[in-house]
């Protein structure tokens, strides 16, 4: 696009179950691995925005990935515009709400869209959102 706007080529999702070197122990039990849905939003301009969702349990990885695969075609050819996408998803899923798997997936898409914008601008996302990066101790 000649106006500099990013255009989504495709969104891909991958379900992975990453073993943890030290299992997490919680009140609900031991978590031996991190079930993650990896989200990549590839643009026509070559920028890739990435995000991941911690799915809590392997049981929901397949349905979460399937939901992402169902939504992905809607993004192709459209602008990387996180706020507009979230408004569109809010309208589309108003009766369903943003709880559960859908809310998790939409949050991941939002993060990946912002990541693409940040990478394209060579700027931390926090700056795009009007904030400033925090100084990390020791750096």
On whether residue 133 sits in a domain, the answer given is no
Domain count, the chain: 1
Q: Give me the chain's average pLDDT, please.
A: 91
Strands 8-26 and 48-54: unpaired
On whether residue 116 sits in a domain, the answer given is yes
Residue range 10-29, pLDDT digits in tens: 999 999 999 999 998 989 88
On whether residue 41 sits in a domain, the answer given is yes
CB atoms within 10 A of CB 12: 13
On whether residue 34 sits in a domain, the answer given is yes
Rg over alpha carbons for the chain, rounded to the nearest Å, is 17
Residue 102: C-alpha distances to residues 96, 119, 137 (Å): 9, 26, 36
Q: Is 104 left (phi over 0), alpha (psi -120 to 50) or beta?
A: alpha
Residue 45, strand partner residues: none
In sequence order, the 6+-apart residues with CB closer than 8 A to the CB of 121 are 128
Which residues constitute the domain of residue 49? 8-128
On whether residue 139 sits in a domain, the answer given is no
CB atoms within 10 A of CB 56: 13
Residue 139 has a pLDDT of 61
On whether residue 137 sits in a domain, the answer given is no
Residue range 39-82, pLDDT digits in tens: 999 999 999 999 999 998 899 999 999 999 999 999 999 999 99
Residue 136 has a pLDDT of 75
Going by C-alpha positions, the residue among 108, 88, 107 that lies closest to residue 98 is 107
| CATH number of domain containing 69 | 3.30.390.10
Model confidence, pTM: 0.87
On whether residue 62 sits in a domain, the answer given is yes
On whether residue 66 sits in a domain, the answer given is yes
């Amino acid at each position: 696009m000649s106006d500099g706007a990013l255009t989504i080529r495709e969104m891909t999702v991958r379900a992975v179950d990453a073993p943890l070197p030290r299992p997490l122990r919680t009140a609900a039990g031991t978590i031996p691995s991190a079930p993650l849905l990896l989200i990549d939003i590839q643009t026509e301009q070559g920028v890739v925005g990435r995000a991941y969702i911690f799915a809590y349990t392997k049981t929901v990885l397949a349905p979460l990935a399937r939901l992402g695969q169902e939504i992905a075609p809607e993004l192709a050819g459209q602008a990387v515009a996180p706020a507009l996408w979230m408004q569109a998803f809010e309208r589309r899923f108003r009766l369903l709400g943003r709880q559960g798997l859908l809310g998790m997936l939409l949050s991941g898409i939002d993060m990946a869209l912002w990541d693409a914008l940040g990478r394209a601008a060579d700027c931390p996302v926090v700056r795009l959102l009007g904030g400033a990066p925090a100084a990390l101790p020791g750096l």
